[in-house]
A = this chain, B = another copy of it.
């Protein structure tokens, strides 16, 4: 949970709440409650945001509040294609000392979403849970492949689902073909690989099965910040709601995640997620159904 300052071709925003855990919580709480949050924030984190999250069923006992330091801060600027961005500022602040503690009340959690963070901290959370969750989903990024590959490889052996983007899948596997990359990564631990391709959708691999979910074609992507985390929140939220971790249900969960991500990019930061209604979510999911459904007669 953090603050971001974002510049896109459409405008810029001063400090706005962000952080992968924030987006995951906002997205997932539409489908399942409580969300048991683990994170760290500083003395600048707005009480109103915590209150908003609590009102959505997000428990914050696992959120450490540090009195004498500010929250993690990131500032970045997106290029015109919105697929690449430059980081302008990264202030670790409270994150430098983060040592996540799983509260006793969180024990027994059935679904664990590990947002993008140092792999050793992701591992620590898994190890603190006395009963292994029914499903563990891990998000990560190229940065950790460059500075903590050994830790990342270790935590990969402990999880069920890995989420990465296409270039990260290639980097992790050393394979250019995403089909081959997914096969190699499955040998590293996770049985399910989700490869996110931004505006080009997402692929889910498991054994020899593959599923493809498109991204909704949008007139404008206003701000892609948090889209991947929002996708993750919708994905695990749907699975936790239905308690069904079959491949068939993961396909549906990816559509739900894609729908949530399509809202996220409409406004700066989590602004759009804070306004979303159940009816809007249902309508958006129906748009995905319309987007890909076709009839064919194999005769």
Complex contact B210–A212 (CB within 8 A): no
Q: Which residues of B contact A294 (CB under 8 A)?
A: 211, 213, 248, 251-252, 254-255
- Identical chains in the assembly: 2
- Separation of A294 and B212 alpha carbons in the complex (Å): 10
Which B residues lie within 8 Å of A282 (CB)?
298
A200 on interface, CB distance cutoff 8 Å: yes
Q: Provided the pairs A200-B197, A201-B214, A218-B179 are in contact, do residues A285 and B296 lie with their beta carbons within 8 angstroms? A: yes
* Interface SS of A by simple majority: mixed
A291 contacts B by Cβ under 8 Å: yes
CB distance from A255 to the nearest CB of B (A): 6
**CB of A125 within 8 A of chain B?**
no
| A212 neighbours in B (Cβ, 8 Å) | 201, 214, 217, 291-292
Least distance between A103 CB and chain B CB atoms (Å): 33
Closest CB of chain B to A166's CB: distance in Å?
10
Q: Are B179 and A203 in contact (CB under 8 A)?
A: no
Is there contact, CB below 8 Å, between A220 and B285? no
With the chains together, A217 CA to B182 CA distance in Å? 11
In chain A between 265 and 295, which residues have their CB closer than 8 angstroms to a CB of chain B? 282, 285-286, 289-295
A134 within 8 A of B: no
Complex partner residue of A217 from B179, B219, B295, CB under 8 angstroms = B179
| Contact between B214 and A214, CB atoms less than 8 A apart | yes
Q: Please name all residues of chain B whose beta carbon is closer than 8 Å to the beta carbon of A203 when the two chains form the complex.
A: 217
Kindly identify, within residues 38 to 82 of chain A, every residue whose CB is under 8 Å from any CB belonging to chain B.
80-81
Interface residues of A in 235-273 (CB under 8 A from B): 248, 251-252, 254-256
* CB proximity of A17 to chain B, nearest CB, Å: 27
Interface set, chain A 124-183, CB cutoff 8 A to B: 176-180
Q: Are B255 and A296 in contact (CB under 8 A)?
A: yes
Q: Which chain B residues border A80 with CB–CB below 8 Å? A: 176
With the chains together, A45 CA to B176 CA distance in Å?
A: 37
- Give, as a whole number of angstroms, the nearest-CB distance from A219 to chain B: 5
Least distance between A9 CB and chain B CB atoms (Å): 9
Instruction: Kindly list chain B residues whose C-beta atoms are within 8 Å of the C-beta of A179.
Output: 217-219
In the assembled complex, the Cα of A286 lies from the Cα of B297 at a distance in Å of 10
Return the contact of A211 from the options B177, B180, B210, B291 (Cβ within 8 A): B291
CB distance from A293 to the nearest CB of B (A): 8
In the complex, chain B residues whose CB is within 8 Å of the CB of A197: 200
> What is the distance, in angstroms, from A173's C-beta to the closest C-beta of chain B?
13
**Residues in A lying within 8 Å of B, measured CB to CB:** 80-81, 176-180, 197, 200-201, 203, 209-214, 217-220, 248, 251-252, 254-256, 282, 285-286, 289-296, 298
Q: Which 6 A-B pairs have the closest CB atoms?
A: A200-B200, A251-B294, A212-B214, A179-B219, A292-B292, A282-B298
Known: A179-B218, A292-B292. 6 other contacts (CB 8 A): A200-B200, A203-B217, A211-B291, A248-B294, A255-B296, A289-B296
